[in-house]
Each structure stands twice: as C-alpha cells, then as structure tokens.
C-alpha cells in the first residue's frame, strides 16, 4: 500500500517502489576465513518485485542478503540503483544512502531501541522525530503502518508484550518507517506456525514494495497470491539455480535428495 502524503514530503519519503541490485563477481569471506559467498554475478531488476532465496542452513543465504542491503561490504561493492541514483556499498557516503533506500528485516529482530520505548507507537515515531518530520506526517506514517500490519490494537503496548507473530509484523513495519525502495528480509516468517506465517506473508507481500527474502518455506513461495516471480537457490556458498518458483522448488528438492543419498553411501 502506498500513501500519497509520502510523495509530497522530504526526499527520503519520495523513494520509488523497487531497486535494481547488481553483484559484479562479488564474494565474501568472514574474518577467520569462513566463506560466506563464493564469487557471484547476479542482477535483480526493478521488475523483480518478489524474489525468494532458498537453500540449506549455511548455504550462503544470509550472506547474500547482507551484501544486498549493505550490512556486509565486499571490496568490489554491490551496485544499487534507485530511480536515477546508482550507489556502491563500497563507498561510505553511498552506504548511508543505501541504509535509507533498502529496509532490513532480520527474522523477527526488532531494533533494540524499541524495547526501551514506552510503546510500539512511540518506538516507530522516534526515528521520524529524529529526522524532524512534521508531527502530522509522523502520525500519518505510523498510523498507516500500524493499520496495515494489524498492530493498531497493540499501539500502546511495549514491544516485549507482543506475541511472536506481532513481533514479526513489527520488525517489518520498523523497516518501512522511512519508505525504502525495497525490503531485504531474512526469513521473515521464521518460527511461526502455518497460520502465523500466512498472516505475516500476506501483510508483507500486500505492501507495495519490492521484497527480496530468504525462506525455508517452499510452500509459501509457490502460493499464487504472493506472486513470487523469481527464486534463487544457494548451495555451498554459491548460486546454483535461478528460475520460477515451481522449477526452483523441484531443483531444490532433488538437491536435498541427492545430498541425503550421498550421506547414506558414506
């Protein structure tokens, strides 16, 4: 859902609804020598509005997402284009802009400051106050986020009082406060039951923003109402498949079978 008032205010409120990401033969190795991602060339265009990333634990999903949103910075830099801006995460100046343009969702992790706030409404409002957004606009932004993510009834409750499903929803709402062009989400439904997962997924994908997300839920990515257009499969720190949800899930399930057979033969 988009709000007209966001188009009439400060620059951070006028972001487009999608970004283009480019990894130009980028890899990442952690301190200590652990490989996060082998060298990979990948393009995600503004037309790729719903991109899922699947793979076994340790396959490189989280590393890839952190490269896309600027949380990890390789020497080469990841290129991110939003409107007429092209940025590189290897530039400290550009990286600050990337933080405005790409919302980060880390499973159900809520910013630590949210737990110190009186309630979740105040927590969502605080960063807008810091940017000196006018009170009327702050109220409109937060009110619409609370309504869209069905948190209005919990607006005066503290973050620690929320159940798991609502914490997941709040984590997404927090990533959207500055109206980013895209959201990068690491397992946004992790740990929820089928009903909770459906509620969170419906809220996330009905919001009119590009979403690149990791998941283990192969049923979710094939549900037509979520309109997942592209799925990346990672294995052993590299991209091994890029295609439609049905084809990607079939490839992934076959990959798991082959790995299980290889384990049995040892």
SS3 44: strand
The architecture that CATH gives domain 4-264 is 3-Layer(aba) Sandwich (3.40)
Q: Is the pLDDT of residue 204 over 50?
A: yes
Cα angle, residue 211 at apex, residues 53 and 40 outer, rounded to 5°: 40
User: pLDDT tens, 207-234?
Assistant: 989 999 999 999 999 999 999 999 999 9
189 contacts 215 by C-beta, under 8 angstroms: yes
pLDDT tens string 81-93: 999 999 999 999 9
- The average pLDDT across 132-136 equals 92
Q: Is 51 exposed, middle or buried (0-12, 13-18, 19+ CB in 10 A)?
A: buried
pLDDT given for residue 12 in this prediction: 55
**H or E element, residue 201:** helix 194-206
Determine the pLDDT at residue 9.
Answer: 43
63 contacts: CB under 8 Å, gap ≥ 6: 28, 36, 37, 72, 237
CA distance 56 to 12: 36
* Residue that is written with structure tokens 């910013």 in the block: 111
Kindly indicate the confidence band of residue 27, based on its pLDDT and cuts at 50, 70 and 90: very high
pLDDT at 3: 42
Closest to 252 measured CA to CA, from 65, 34, 61: 61
DSSP 181-199: SEEEEESTTTT--HHHHHH
Q: Which two tokens stand for residue 164?
A: 């798991």
- Of the pLDDT bands very low, low, confident and very high (cuts 50, 70, 90), residue 109 is confident
Q: 138 falls in which pLDDT band (50, 70, 90)?
A: very high
- Average pLDDT of the residues of the chain: 92
Q: Is the pLDDT of residue 44 over 90?
A: yes
Q: How does 205-242 read in b/e, with b if 16+ C-beta sit within 10 Å?
A: bebebbbbbbbebbebbbeeebebebbbbbbebbbebe
| Residue pLDDT, tens place only, 155-175 | 999 999 999 999 999 999 999
SS3 240: strand
SS3 call for 200: helix
Dump the DSSP string for 103-118: EEEETTBPPTHHHHSS
The answer on pLDDT for 10 being more than 70 is no
Give the number of other Cβ atoms within 10 Å of residue 64's Cβ.
29
Average pLDDT over residues 66-77: 92
């Amino acid at each position: 859902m988009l709000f007209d008032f966001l188009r009439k205010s400060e620059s951070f409120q006028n972001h487009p609804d999608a970004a283009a990401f480019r990894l130009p033969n980028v890899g990442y190795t952690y301190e200590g020598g652990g490989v996060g991602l082998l060298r990979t060339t990948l393009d995600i265009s503004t037309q790729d509005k719903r991109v899922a990333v699947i793979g076994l634990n340790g396959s490189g999903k989280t590393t890839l997402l952190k490269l896309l949103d600027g949380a990890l910075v390789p020497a080469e830099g990841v290129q991110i284009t939003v409107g007429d801006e092209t940025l590189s995460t290897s530039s400290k100046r550009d990286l600050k802009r990337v933080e405005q343009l790409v919302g980060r969702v880390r499973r159900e992790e809520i910013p630590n400051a949210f737990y110190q706030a009186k309630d979740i409404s105040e927590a969502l409002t605080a960063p807008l106050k810091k940017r000196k957004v006018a009170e009327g606009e702050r109220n409109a932004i937060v009110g619409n986020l609370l309504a869209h993510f069905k948190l209005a009834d919990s607006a005066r409750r503290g973050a620690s009082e929320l159940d798991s499903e609502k914490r997941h929803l709040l984590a997404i709402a927090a990533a959207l406060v500055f109206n980013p062009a895209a959201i990068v989400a690491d397992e946004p439904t992790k740990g929820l039951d089928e009903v909770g997962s459906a509620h969170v997924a419906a809220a996330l994908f009905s919001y009119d923003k590009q979403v690149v997300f990791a998941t283990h839920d192969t049923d979710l990515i094939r549900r037509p109402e979520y309109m997942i257009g592209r799925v990346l499969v990672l294995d052993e720190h590299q991209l091994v498949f890029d295609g439609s949800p049905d084809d990607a899930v079939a490839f992934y399930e076959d990959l798991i079978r082959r790995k299980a057979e290889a384990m049995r033969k040892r």
